[in-house]
Amino acid sequence: MAEMYRDYHSIEGGRPNLSAEKFTELMINRKMAEARVSEDQDQFRCPVCLDLLKDPVAIPCGHSFCMVCINKCWDKDHQRGVYSCPQCRETFTPRPVLCRNYMLAEVLETLKKTELRAASPVHCYAGPGDVECDSCTGRKHKAIKSCLVCLASFCETHIRPHYQSPAFKKHALVKASTRLQEKICSQHDKLNEIFCHTDQSFICNLCMMYEHKGHNTVSVAAERNKKQVRTRNLVEPVYGRY
């Protein structure tokens, strides 16, 4: 805390009237604000990519998804001609027309701005175990997101173009990670979006068409949802005894 106190005075140009007690109170308030933002974010995460909704759309059952995510799911259902909700599995025929939910998009934009404001410069420097921003020069700031397209991690400042510029519209953002290469197919340089049950490995779409052709495969999102349901089914009976 003492080091943060010195950093704060250095960053803010020096505030001699700010006592250590006031500084501690300020830090606690900011931490609480960050926690509230985190809780708010959970309500607006896409059930497929688990990130904040981008170009949000609501389908007939009422669930919301990223435009890109739900289109990818339904493109795979095209041959059957029956389209289902990845969350509740309700089916639709014909394929529903998707329209951007502008009201929800505005709420998300406000939430993103709140998230950026809640982060203090004091907290931004990367420490031991933190993921460093790949765009920072000099002292590295803590990365808050990693991009699976750029294969790079970004701090609160350098991630802004991904939220604001249409050029990054289709870029997939995930929680900051140092293991980005593990999410990319080493053979085809594509995102590993498929889980192969036959070989118990994550693969890309090209792998599924060639090396893993005919194998028992599912989307990574479907495999994740199945494991989450399985975990809940194991945990809930235990908690039900108490």
pLDDT digits 0-9 by tens, 74-102:
998 888 889 999 888 899 999 999 999 98
C-alpha span between 207 and 132 (Å, rounded): 31
CA dist 193 and 174 (Å) reads 13
- Give CATH for domain 184-233: 3.30.160.60
Full DSSP string of 94-160: SPPPP-B-HHHHHHHHHHHHHHHHHS-HHHHB--TTPPBPSS--SSPBBP-EEETTTTEEE-TTTTH
Note the pTM of the prediction, 2 decimals: 0.38
pLDDT 10s digits, 12-32: 333 444 455 554 555 555 555
What stretches in the chain show pLDDT beneath 50?
1-18, 23, 33-38, 122, 238-239, 242
Q: Classify 210 as helix, strand or coil.
A: coil
CA 44, 222, 59: angle at the middle one, nearest 5? Answer: 45
Closest CA to 185 of 169, 208, 168, 162: 208
Domain boundaries, the chain: 1-124, 125-182, 184-233
* pLDDT tens per residue across span 125-137: 888 888 999 998 8
Nearest alpha carbon to residue 96 among 81, 107, 111, 109: 81
Q: What is the pLDDT of residue 236?
A: 58
What pLDDT, on the 0 to 100 scale, is given for residue 143? 92
What is the biggest distance separating any 2 CA atoms in the chain, rounded to whole angstroms?
A: 70
May I ask the CATH class of domain 1-124? alpha beta
